[in-house]
């Protein structure tokens, strides 16, 4: 069942029941704009899909057309040529729309079972030693917040080094769930560092640092929301941040570009959060919609791209706009997985001809220099020695766990982490897991090294002071 046929079934249902599409959305999934979103190609989660399906079955199953009756049975019912074609089309569109980082469960499991995000925050914290902020605030930009673990860690480092300086902390993230998790980490930060302005946006790399969409149409439909938090305790802030859920559901919807399969925002949105009791002090730090400004002291680019994309594309689409958003003396720190570790050894045993870590920091920075052309003279572009650049992190495990027999859940966590870091796509994983004893291979490597560890590499680009 494709999204198109779901939409057709819904439209037909509304016609037959003389029900307004907004009523259908409200009654089935508590979202009056659901059908309108479906029309513009919005993503439908399996839960939403189920709710819509159940609603239609409950309210007039007999009136549904063939397609909608098959909402549940379609995957097994592949006999008729028409249905086969439907499945092929769906399969093709799934492949095109496939994005590695759509797999949230793998990401969240990885974040909580491995020390990477903590180690990365510390590494970024070291860069703060080179930063010379100017009034009115220390300004940072996170080019892909994910679940906000890195950002929250970096904000702790910032507070430690600059306890009394106002902060402007801006971040880009397209995923609604990630923004929600990230917000849940911010109440404590706002409590500890009251002079903070937080700015979250779903804009593209080329727009987000400036909080300005490129197209006129997107610019004029931009949602700009300012929230001045009342009270002074972490509990009060957390309650008010939780209440933003409805706003996020409404405005943080994402679809897929039909051309590239990349996730794209449905509505360009900027959300600004600060403490009301510090509004006066932060007046010059709070962004204004009509002022386009990006002069960051620090830009974080932690795992911001797919590893297998060429250095040229990574540099053009991701790093270039970030470099252009640096203020004088500002620094960008980039971090990505670099392999040649036990986790990579697991992957090599299974897929000997695939190297996810082929494009390294040297080729990436060469591509950045090329893209910048004569402007590269304004920047220090440093790939640094391996000693300075490469750092290690590991999978958490109990001291006794790896000595005797390794528990299945540890093996699953290790397999998840290795394949997540290697960005192995779902389809390849599924096929391999049917035919290869991947847990035995994982166990062998864990025993050989007494655990699982990984390498990341980092690089910096700083703008010279003028």
List contacts with ligand SAM (CB under 6 A).
100-101, 107, 116-117, 144, 146, 150, 302-304, 337, 421, 423
CA 276 to each of CA 96, 163, 238, 273, 280: distance values in angstroms, whole numbers, following the listed order: 45, 19, 14, 9, 8
Nearer to ligand SAM, 110 or 168 (CB): 110
Q: Closest distance between ligand SAM and the C-beta of residue 34, in Å?
A: 26
Q: Quick one: CA torsion of 79, 83, 87, 92, rounded to 10 degrees?
A: 130
419: tokens are: 């394949």
Q: Closest distance between ligand SAM and the C-beta of residue 422, in Å?
A: 8
Q: Closest distance between ligand SAM and the C-beta of residue 413, in Å?
A: 14
Nearer to ligand SAM, 100 or 351 (CB): 100
Contact 197, 169 (CB under 8 A): yes
Nearer to ligand SAM, 338 or 442 (CB): 338
Q: Closest distance between ligand SAM and the C-beta of residue 100, in Å?
A: 5
d(CA 306, CA 257): 17
d(CA 84, CA 74): 10
Q: Closest distance between ligand SAM and the C-beta of residue 127, in Å?
A: 15
Neighbours of 365 (CB within 10 A): 21
Nearer to ligand SAM, 70 or 97 (CB): 97
Nearer to ligand SAM, 136 or 263 (CB): 263
Among 377, 370, 379, smallest CA distance to 462 is for 379
Who's near 278: CB < 8 A, 6+ residues apart? 194, 195
Q: Closest distance between ligand SAM and the C-beta of residue 443, in Å?
A: 22
Task: Please count the residues of the chain.
Answer: 466
Q: Closest distance between ligand SAM and the C-beta of residue 80, in Å?
A: 38
Q: Closest distance between ligand SAM and the C-beta of residue 96, in Å?
A: 18
Q: Closest distance between ligand SAM and the C-beta of residue 301, in Å?
A: 8
Contact 137, 440 (CB under 8 A): no
Nearer to ligand SAM, 117 or 361 (CB): 117
Name the packing angle between helices 46-58 and 3-17 (round to 10°). 30
Nearer to ligand SAM, 8 or 426 (CB): 426
Q: Closest distance between ligand SAM and the C-beta of residue 116, in Å?
A: 5
Nearer to ligand SAM, 21 or 116 (CB): 116
Nearer to ligand SAM, 117 or 256 (CB): 117
Nearer to ligand SAM, 202 or 303 (CB): 303
């Amino acid at each position: 069942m494709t999204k198109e046929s779901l939409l057709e079934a819904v439209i037909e249902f509304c016609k037959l029941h003389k029900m307004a599409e907004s009523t259908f959305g409200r009654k089935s999934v508590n979202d009056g704009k659901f059908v309108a979103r479906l029309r513009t190609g919005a993503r439908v989660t399996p839960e939403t899909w189920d709710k819509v399906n159940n609603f239609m079955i409950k309210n007039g199953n007999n009136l549904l057309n063939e397609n909608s009756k098959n909402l549940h049975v379609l995957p097994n019912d592949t006999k008729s040529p028409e249905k086969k074609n439907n499945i092929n089309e769906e399969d093709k569109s799934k492949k095109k729309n496939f994005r590695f980082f759509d797999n949230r469960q793998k990401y969240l499991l990885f974040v909580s079972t491995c020390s990477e995000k903590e180690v990365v925050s510390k590494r970024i914290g070291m860069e703060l030693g080179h930063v010379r902020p100017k009034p009115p605030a220390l300004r940072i930009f996170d080019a892909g917040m994910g679940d906000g673990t890195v950002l929250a860690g970096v904000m702790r480092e910032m507070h430690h080094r600059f306890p009394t300086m106002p902060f402007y902390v801006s971040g880009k993230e397209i995923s609604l769930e990630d923004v929600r998790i990230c917000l849940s980490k911010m109440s404590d930060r706002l409590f500890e560092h009251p002079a903070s302005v937080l700015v979250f946006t779903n804009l593209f790399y080329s727009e987000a640092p400036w909080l300005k969409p490129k197209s006129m149409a997107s610019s004029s439909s931009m949602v700009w929301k300012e929230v001045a938090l009342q009270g002074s305790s972490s509990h009060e802030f957390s309650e008010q941040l939780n209440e933003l859920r409805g706003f996020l559901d409404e405005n943080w919807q994402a679809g897929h570009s039909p051309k590239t399969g990349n996730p794209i925002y449905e509505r360009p949105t900027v959300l600004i959060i600060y403490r009301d009791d510090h509004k006066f002090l932060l007046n010059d730090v709070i962004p204004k919609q009509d002022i386009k400004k990006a002069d960051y002291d620090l830009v974080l680019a932690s795992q911001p791209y797919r590893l297998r994309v060429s250095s040229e594309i990574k540099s053009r689409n991701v790093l270039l706009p970030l470099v252009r958003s640096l203020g004088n003396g500002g620094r960008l720190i980039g971090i990505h997985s670099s392999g040649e570790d036990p986790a990579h050894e697991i992957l090599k045993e299974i897929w000997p001809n695939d190297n996810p870590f082929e494009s390294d920091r040297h080729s990436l920075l060469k591509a950045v220099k090329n893209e910048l052309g004569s402007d590269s003279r304004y920047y220090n572009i440093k790939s640094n020695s391996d000693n300075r650049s490469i750092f290690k992190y590991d999978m958490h495990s109990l001291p006794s766990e790896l000595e005797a027999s390794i528990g299945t859940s540890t093996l699953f966590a290790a397999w998840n982490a290795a394949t997540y870091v290697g960005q192995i796509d779902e389809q390849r994983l599924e096929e391999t897991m049917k035919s290869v004893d991947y847990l035995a291979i994982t166990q062998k490597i864990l025993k050989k090294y007494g655990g699982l560890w990984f390498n990341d590499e980092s690089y910096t680009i700083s703008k010279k002071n003028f």
